[in-house]
């Protein structure tokens, strides 16, 4: 089994703490603060430690879903983006360009990957 260490940034809040994540095979085995991160200097909060649990949560969504009369159905990413684009365009056609707005949340505003 291959073990590797990935250095990432926690995106759960605006602090953007540096993370050192040990991965064994495809499983996260350890999350600690990155001692070399210039901002957090190795400190992280319980939310960052819980990222492993979030990643492994059996209820975590890993693909797009569409609501149907019978519940939810899995759809592909291309189909999900196409449907979202069509529906947003229809809203703008009916209600004007100002009917649709974007929202940049706190952590997302500080995450260049977002």
Nearest-CA neighbor of 29 among 59, 49, 47?
49
Q: For the segment 43-91, what is each residue's pLDDT rounded down to a tens digit?
A: 999 999 999 998 899 999 999 999 999 999 999 999 999 999 999 999 9
CATH for 45: 3.30.200.210
At residue 112, the pLDDT reads: 65
Rounded to an integer, the average pLDDT of 23-44 is: 94
Instruction: Please tell me whether residues 7 and 52 are part of one structural domain.
Output: yes
* Full domain range(s) for residue 80: 65-109
The residue out of 56, 75, 94 marking a domain boundary is 56
Dihedral of the CA atoms 37, 106, 59, 79 (nearest 10)?
Answer: -110
Q: Please, what is the average pLDDT of the chain? A: 91
Residue at 114 is within a domain: no
Structural domains of the chain, count: 2
Query: For position 1, what pLDDT does the model report?
Result: 85
Q: pLDDT tens digits, residue range 85-97?
A: 999 999 999 999 9
Whole-angstrom distance, CA of residue 78 vs CA of residue 85: 11
Q: Tell me, yes or no, whether 8 and 50 share the same domain.
A: yes
Kindly state whether residues 48 and 20 are assigned to the same domain: yes
């Amino acid at each position: 089994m291959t073990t590797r260490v990935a250095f990432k940034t926690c995106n759960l809040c605006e602090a953007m703490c540096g993370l050192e994540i040990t991965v064994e095979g495809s499983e996260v085995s350890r999350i600690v603060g990155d001692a070399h991160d210039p901002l957090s200097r190795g400190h992280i909060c319980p939310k960052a430690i819980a990222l492993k649990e979030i990643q492994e949560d059996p209820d975590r969504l890993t693909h797009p879903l569409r609501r149907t009369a019978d519940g939810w159905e899995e759809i592909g990413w291309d189909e999900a983006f196409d449907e979202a684009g069509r529906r947003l365009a229809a809203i703008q056609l009916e209600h004007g360009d100002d009917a649709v707005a974007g929202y940049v949340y706190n952590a997302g505003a500080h995450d260049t990957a977002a």
